[in-house]
Amino acid sequence: MVYDWINMKRLSSTLIACVMLAATNASAQEASIRKNLAARIPQLEKIDEVSKTPIAGLYEIRVNGTDIYYTDAEANYLVQGNLIDTKQKRNLTEERVDKLTAIAFDALPLKDAFTIVRGNGKRKLAVFEDPNCGYCKRFEEGLQKVNNITIHMFLYPVLGPASVEKSKNIWCARDKGKTWQDWMLSDVEPASAKCDTAAVDRNIQMGKKHKITGTPTLIFADGSRVPGAIGTDQVEQRLAQAAGK
């Protein structure tokens, strides 16, 4: 029994040493990658993170918060593109970016949005849209078919001064939801109106912070987001996923 105990202690010490050595090697490898990339591609933005991928010898480089690149152990090559798991038919790069760009739904400043409720309103969706965005108008047409939903609409004018003015007129309207839908669905021009429009300015700043670069951008209850207009079936699928169904 004493012999077994001594052997177990030796084994434990060996495992700890191996773990420490692996950690040291990983740290040295990361330092080497950072050093080589900084020397060879000085215009590359500050590296946020270096991590291993499922492929031996291939490392993920994350810069600027959510931009993903791949490199080898010596940083001799730099690859930009999607890493696909062909067995599981998964886009690993897309999944990684989705995780990095997720926005906690509960953290959204809903006071800076107006709300449209259909049916029982149980399902939640936040949308960033520019009133002069053609894709947004087509998306709105399809969204009319989605029921039992609460939509938090963030006016996000990124297409120029005309969009800013129209967004502020919509925000100042007595019935924001109706004014919005009249314009997006029927081209009824919002009447000129004056009020405190700081919410629109805050939306623009928040969008920049979270790198919302296009409209529409959808945020679902689980924090996942979709850049660009998607069809009704995809909206329904995403709502179900967000609800854990």
pLDDT in tens, 111-163: 999 999 999 999 999 999 999 999 999 999 999 999 999 999 999 999 999 99
Residue 243's CB is within 10 A of a number of other CB atoms, namely 13
* Averaged confidence pLDDT in the chain: 88
CB 84 within 8 A of CB 70: no
What value does the mean pLDDT take over residues 13-30? 56
Per cent of the chain over pLDDT 90 is: 69
Per-residue pLDDT at 25 exceeds 80: no
Residue 21: the pLDDT is 43
Per-residue pLDDT at 15 exceeds 60: no
User: What span, in angstroms and rounded, lies between the C-alpha atoms of 136 and 144?
Assistant: 12
What value does the mean pLDDT take over residues 46-54? 91
In terms of residues, how long is the chain?
Answer: 245
In the three-class reduction of DSSP (H, G, I as helix; E, B as strand; rest coil), residue 64 is classed as coil
Helix axes 176-186, 161-171, angle to 10 degrees: 140
CB 100 within 8 A of CB 81: no
Q: Find tokens 């291993």 and name the residue.
A: 52
User: What span, in angstroms and rounded, lies between the C-alpha atoms of 239 and 229?
Assistant: 15
Q: Find tokens 């930009």 and name the residue.
A: 80
User: What span, in angstroms and rounded, lies between the C-alpha atoms of 19 and 179?
Assistant: 62
- For residues 20 and 87, the model is more confident at 87
pTM of the entire structure?
Answer: 0.73
Per-residue pLDDT at 4 exceeds 70: no
Q: Torsions phi, psi of 31, nearest 5?
A: -60, -40
* Domain annotation for the chain: domains and CATH numbers: 2-101 (3.10.450.70), 105-242 (3.40.30.10)
Residue 9: the pLDDT is 54
18: confidence class by pLDDT, cuts 50, 70, 90: very low
According to DSSP, the β-strands at 84-85 and 78-79 are unpaired
Q: Within 13 Å and on the Cβ side, how many CA atoms surround 155?
A: 29
Residue 237: the pLDDT is 94
In the three-class reduction of DSSP (H, G, I as helix; E, B as strand; rest coil), residue 244 is classed as coil
Residue 110: the pLDDT is 96
- For residues 76 and 27, the model is more confident at 76
Residue 189: the pLDDT is 96
β partners of residue 149: 118, 123
Cα angle 67-73-74, degrees, rounded to a multiple of 5:
100
pLDDT digits (tens, 9 = 90+) for 123-135: 999 999 999 999 9
- At 245, the amino acid letter reads K
How far does CA 175 lie from the centroid of its chain? 30
Bin 23: left if φ > 0, else alpha if -120 < ψ < 50, else beta: alpha
Bin 88: left if φ > 0, else alpha if -120 < ψ < 50, else beta: alpha
Residue 23: the pLDDT is 47
94: confidence class by pLDDT, cuts 50, 70, 90: confident
Closest CA to 241 of 147, 123, 121, 150: 123
Tokens of 39: 């020397």
Residue 109: the pLDDT is 96
97: confidence class by pLDDT, cuts 50, 70, 90: confident
Residue 5: the pLDDT is 47
